Amino acid sequence: MTRFDAGPLPSLEQQHRDPQRYPDGVAWLDGQYVPISQAKVSVLDWGFLHSDATYDTVHVWNGAFFRLDDHIARFRAGLERLRLQLPCDDTQLRTILHNCVALSGHREAYVEMLCTRGTSASFSRDPRDAQNRLMAFAIPLGSVANEEQMQRGLHLALSDIARIPPQSLDPAIKNYHWLDLVRGLYEAYDQGAENVLLRHINGTVAEGPGFNVFALVEGTVLTPDTGVLPGITRRTVLEICAEEAIPARAQPLSVAALKAADEVFITSTAGGVMPVSRLDGIPVGAGKPGPLTAAVTKRYWAWHADERFAEPVEYGR
């Protein structure tokens, strides 16, 4: 057997040097708050080895959480479906999330709560032997679309790659099974697009990496009804449409209808409401963000000051 010569052992300092760069932020794990660069997960964690985890993300805007109750409720529902246990109740979870933001000092923040299956002392293959692990963090708020894309509209591509079917994985459970989405992203990049939409196995439109899609078709706002994540921003847009008497409904969305739409936009906690101006290289409608998208976007951000949805963070604790 040929022996591989790895050279002299590195010093203790070299062994523990982290080559990665991290955004500024604060995390909570194992009962303590730490800088984001110190938040680690074991390579033996089922969350890392098998994507056996669920999570939810909520954003803070102008120093206040937006629809935190809804995000915690969706997180709890995913935990129950995956038979994961948290070491705290919802009040304690809310305190952890608030503290992560307050300690970070960010007034616009991307906040994530996640629970992995964890590890077992014997490296058991039985998930019931694993100790579930809760983590949370707050970092600066980012967006699916950058500032330029928000102004002129995103350029999307439709992929032939099918989204993981709901019969295999319930899309209502937020998860890290993104290989279909990542493959689709590289397809889109190869075509000169900036992001991607996947289809269902039956050929209808599904969703993209971390976002839902809407299309204005013959005066009605449509969004896929099944096999997609029930996004909180998606729900907000449907509620805005109802409040503003804008015809809107969730139903199967065909590729033909999407391509014939007068306006298309996507929605996500990371970015809110984001216009789409090109699809598969072809202009959507007038080839620029449309008036309905602008109106919904304006109302969406106005709701962030609405006491029904905003929950202020107490900084300086």
| Residues 98 and 43 placed together within one structural domain of the fold | yes
CA distance 55 to 74: 9
257-315: per-residue pLDDT in tens? 999 999 999 999 999 999 999 999 999 999 999 999 999 999 999 999 999 999 999 99
The pairing of beta strand 64-66 with beta strand 53-61: antiparallel
> Among 140, 162, 182, where does a domain finish?
140
Region 45-65 average pLDDT = 97
Confidence of residue 17 (pLDDT cuts 50, 70, 90): low
| Residues 79 and 224 placed together within one structural domain of the fold | no
Which residues have CB under 8 Å from 53's CB, separation 6+?
Answer: 46, 47, 84, 114, 115, 116, 117, 175, 176
pLDDT at residue number 8: 59
CA distance 269 to 282: 27
Number of domains in the chain: 2
pLDDT at residue number 22: 86
Predicted confidence (pLDDT) at residue 24 exceeds the cutoff of 60 = yes
- Would you state the structure tokens that stand for residue 19, as one six-digit string? 């080559």
What's CA 7's distance to the chain center, in Å? Answer: 43
| Residues 32 and 151 placed together within one structural domain of the fold | no
| Residues 124 and 225 placed together within one structural domain of the fold | no
CA distance 24 to 166: 36
Q: Where are the beta strands (DSSP E) in 128-254?
A: 131-140, 154-162, 195-199, 212-217, 220-223, 248-250
Query: Which residue, among 227, 273, 280, has the nearest Cα to 250 in the 3D structure?
Result: 227
CA distance 81 to 53: 11
> Among 97, 124, 140, where does a domain finish?
140
Give domain status of residue 2, yes or no.
no
pLDDT at residue number 13: 53
Q: Which domain holds residue 185?
A: 147-304
For the chain, what percentages of helix, strand and coil (3-state, to nearest 5) are there? 30, 30, 40
CA distance 197 to 212: 9
Give domain status of residue 5, yes or no.
no
> Among 140, 165, 195, where does a domain finish?
140
What whole-number percentage of the chain has pLDDT above 90?
92
Give domain status of residue 8, yes or no.
no
CATH of the domain at 277: 3.20.10.10
Q: Which helix H or strand E contains 298, and what residues bound it?
A: helix 291-302
| Residues 130 and 206 placed together within one structural domain of the fold | no
Give domain status of residue 55, yes or no.
yes
Confidence of residue 21 (pLDDT cuts 50, 70, 90): confident
pLDDT at residue number 45: 96
| Residues 231 and 87 placed together within one structural domain of the fold | no
CA distance 262 to 51: 38
What's CA 118's distance to the chain center, in Å? Answer: 21
Confidence of residue 219 (pLDDT cuts 50, 70, 90): very high
Region 204-228 average pLDDT = 97
Region 153-158 average pLDDT = 98
CA distance 271 to 294: 14
CA distance 186 to 262: 27
What mean pLDDT value characterizes the chain? 94
